[in-house]
Amino acid sequence: MTKVEQSSSSGTGARGPAGDGSGPRHPGAGWWIMGLVAVVAVVALVAAVVGVVVTSGTNKPATQAPSGVVSTSLTTAITAEQQAKATYDNVIARLGPVRPFSTVRNAEADHIDTLQGLAQRYGVTLPTGSSGGQPSPTSRLAACQVGVATELQIVATYTQLLTRVSAYPDLTRAFSNLRAAARDSHLPAFEACLSASSPPVPAPGSSVTTGSTTGSTTGLPTASATVVTSLGAAYTAEQQAKATYDNVIARFGPVRPFTTVRSAEVDHVDTLQGLAQRYGVTLPAGPFNGAPSPATLTEACQLGVTTEQQIVSTYSQLIIQVAGYADLTQAFSNLQAASRDNHLPAFQRCA
């Protein structure tokens, strides 16, 4: 073999048989490339899954039909806020932009915007009818009494709604904030307005004037601001419940338990009117529109449950306020028991 042949033969270890460099490569190169491809695929898969989770978590309420609990709760909440705003609008229209009505009215508008945003997120259609609210009394004192009763009702409403939406963190947070605004800001503002506008409590045996009624305090209880406010709040709660059940009956006919509970509410209203007459208290005149009737009887029964829970909660607060009045304490306790032990179980069975 010549030197040239030896040189060509020795070169075959670095080049392929054809001399084109297609000979053996580094033994780990193929595995490294396959591993890189697998990593890229896994990263892409994880990104896709995360994107789906984030997207579904953000838009879930808007892409799924709202549950009955969500729909009823948001409807109840916005109805209460709209009724309050309309009531304060009526006061402002009659008495002018007096505080705290002007500031609380603006806050109610913000609350409504909050609830409308939640409804849009959950795909809930809210009531479109206008709320007339309660008509304005003729005096600032009486208007402040209506404000106290209205905010007490809102606090009671959210207290009950919070027990129903515990599975929805965003609704729980929003309802808690709205309740806190009513309890910690609006209610104290109206109570302060009531105290500032109230005349001094007369001594026993003197003349007492409450609203348009004048009487002797001898042998008669004195209508303090607490009595006026508490009777107004209880009366409003019972009248609103009666109006709600009237709305359901108007839609579905004389179905039970709405007919029987509605009749009981009339008796409750009569009881409170008798107490108001005894104390010389002028009760809110309405109108009391109640909550609109849902589309199904099951949802109507759920609304009945919420309504009676609100009444029970309202009386729990009022009983504390009237602790110094034995007759009011007894009456409120009896009315609360009727809601808790009779009306509420009837609606729970039907729901």
Question: What are 42-100's pLDDT values in tens digits?
Answer: 545 544 444 433 333 334 444 445 678 888 888 888 888 888 888 899 888 988 888 88
The tens digit of pLDDT for each residue in 177-220 reads: 888 888 877 888 887 776 665 544 433 333 333 333 333 343 44
Distance CA 77, CA 162 (A): 11
Binning the chain into helix, strand and coil, the percentages to the nearest 5 are 70, 0, 25
Distance CA 9, CA 253 (A): 106
* Statement: residue 282 has pLDDT above 50: yes
Predicted confidence at residue 250, as pLDDT, reads 92
Predicted confidence at residue 306, as pLDDT, reads 86
Q: At residue 210, what are phi and psi to the nearest 5 degrees?
A: -130, 115
* Architecture of the domain delimited by 217-351: Up-down Bundle (1.20)
Q: Token match 């949802």: residue?
A: 299
* Statement: residue 291 has pLDDT above 70: yes
Whether the CA torsion 132, 161, 283, 203 is positive or negative: it is negative
The tens digit of pLDDT for each residue in 308-337 reads: 888 888 888 888 888 888 888 888 888 888
With bands split at pLDDT 50, 70 and 90, how would you rate the model's confidence at 27?
A: low
- Domain 60-196 classification at class level: mainly alpha
Domain ranges of the chain: 60-196, 217-351
Question: What tokens does 200 get?
Answer: 């001094």
Comparing C-alpha atoms, which of 91, 81, 80 is closest to residue 190? Answer: 91
What is the mean pLDDT of the segment spanning 22-38? 55
Predicted confidence at residue 44, as pLDDT, reads 53
Bridge partners, residue 210, by sequence = 213
Q: Which of 6-10, 19-23, 211-215 has the lowest mean pLDDT?
A: 211-215
Predicted confidence at residue 30, as pLDDT, reads 60
Q: Are 284 and 333 in contact (CB under 8 A)?
A: no
Buried-exposed string 289-317: b where 16+ CB fall within 10 A, e elsewhere: bbbbbbeebebbbbbbbbbbbbbbbbbeb
Q: Is 111 left (phi over 0), alpha (psi -120 to 50) or beta?
A: alpha
Q: What does pLDDT average to over the chain?
A: 74
What residues contact 179, with CB distance under 8 A and at least 6 apart? Answer: 154, 155, 158, 159, 162
Q: Is 60-196's fold the same as 217-351's?
A: yes
Q: How far apart are the first and last CA of the chain?
A: 105
